[in-house]
Amino acid sequence: MPTPKSQADIITDIQGLLEAAERTPEIRALIEAERQPLADSLVLIRSLKARQEELTALRQEVTQQLGVAFADARERSIVFRSVVRGKIGPRSERLVHFKMAPLRKRPRKKKAAEKVPLQEDAVNPAAESTE
């Protein structure tokens, strides 16, 4: 018989062993010393699985609460930055300390130099020689 690999298969296998021991009372007295620790292991496994499922549910609940807390913190950080910008001014370089870019004057763009029109003859000297 193949060895069970998954947790559910192992639990089912242990339950089958214990039920087989219950159905054979003539052998039960001979294997009681080994049956009781196996039964205790099954009880422990069941309680740990129940705890694991409870923690999974709690983990999902905490994850949802964490998402709400992050959304609230983002809203509060927006308000905080707005208040800081209002208190020290939108052009103050101290805004950099709060990881905000201050309003700065931008340099004027220089006008693009006028392009010199190219002479058609200078562009393609080979065209003149073929004529």
In a domain, 120, yes or no: no
In a domain, 124, yes or no: no
What is the rounded CA–CA span in Å between residue 57 and residue 118? 76
Query: pLDDT of 78-110, one tens digit each?
Result: 999 999 999 999 999 999 988 899 999 888 888
In a domain, 42, yes or no: yes
What is the rounded CA–CA span in Å between residue 101 and residue 103? 7
In a domain, 73, yes or no: yes
Question: What pLDDT is recorded for position 36?
Answer: 94
In a domain, 130, yes or no: no
The answer to whether residue 115 scores a pLDDT higher than 90 is: no
| Domain count for the chain | 1
30 lies in which domain range?
7-103
What is the rounded CA–CA span in Å between residue 128 and residue 12? 96
Question: What pLDDT is recorded for position 131?
Answer: 47
- Identify the residue with better confidence: 37 or 113: 37
